[in-house]
Amino acid sequence: MGSASADPDTRSLKINIRSETEADITAICEVTKTAFKDDPHGNQTEHLIVDALRTSGCLTVSLVAEIDDAVVGHVALSPVSISDGASDWYGLGPISVMPAYQGKGVGSALMNDALATLKAMDAAGCVLLGDPEYYRQFGFTVDSRLQFPGVPTEYFQALLFNGAMPEGDVTYHDSFYALG
């Protein structure tokens, strides 16, 4: 961890990625609220999801992005269930970046460290719900063997680290249905 983006436009930002501490919880909530405030695809409860995952003990990985000692981004990873019984799969999200830092490499730095952390944990793979154009750069693809009922299939993507691709419906932790 502790990586910085290699993008020439962001090298001067000195992005530091690290695991969350208890002192970061308020900042993570604020970053997540602000990042999703005007998102037409979000439901503005993403900060509640992160809190619920943390409270339930299912926030497996929680990384913050800092610039000048201020938290400007966050990514959460939590276990998912797959109906075929596959294990060691994780869901990535929510991922949040303060609007002033979006498009400047912060999200990419978070993604790269999050995926490296999962690989170091010997995770089998990772799923996420998001823009296929953006997440393709990290190796995510749509795979018809994995389904997330109720969402357009082109937005549900997977990244296999090892083993065989499972087949079935993916279920996120109950915390994803946190409404406050």
Residue 44 reports pLDDT greater than 80 = no
Please report the pLDDT score of residue 176 as a whole number.
Answer: 86
pLDDT of residue 51: 94
Residue among 88, 29, 73 nearest 54 (CA): 29
Domain chopping of the chain, boundaries: 11-177
Residue 22 burial (CB < 10 Å; 0-12/13-18/19+)?
exposed
Please report, to the nearest 10 degrees, the dihedral formed by the alpha carbons of residues 2, 113, 56, 30 taken in order. 70
Spatial CA neighbour of 114 closest among 60, 168, 151, 164: 60
Rounded CA gap, 71 and 116, in Å? 20
Residue 129 has pLDDT above 50, yes or no: yes
pLDDT number for residue 40: 60
Residue 18 CB partners (closer than 8 Å, separation 6+): 1, 2, 63, 64, 66
* Structure-token pair, residue 98: 């303060």
Kindly calculate the radius of gyration of the chain based on its CA atoms and give it in whole angstroms: 15
- pLDDT value, residue 30: 97
Dist CA 100 CA 110 (whole Å): 16
- CATH fold of 11-177, please? Aminopeptidase (3.40.630)
Q: Please, which residues have CB within 8 angstroms of residue 107's CB and are 6 or more apart in sequence?
A: 73, 95, 97
**pLDDT greater than 50 at residue 83:** yes
Q: What would the mean pLDDT of 144-157 be, rounded to a whole number?
A: 93
Highest-pLDDT range among 21-25, 37-41, 43-47, 147-151 = 21-25
Question: For residues 52 and 180, what is the distance between their CA atoms, to the nearest angstrom?
Answer: 9
pLDDT at 5 (0 to 100) = 39
Contact status, residue 83 vs residue 168, Cβ threshold 8 Å: yes
Taking the alpha carbons of 112, 51, 180, 127 in that order, is the dihedral positive or negative? positive
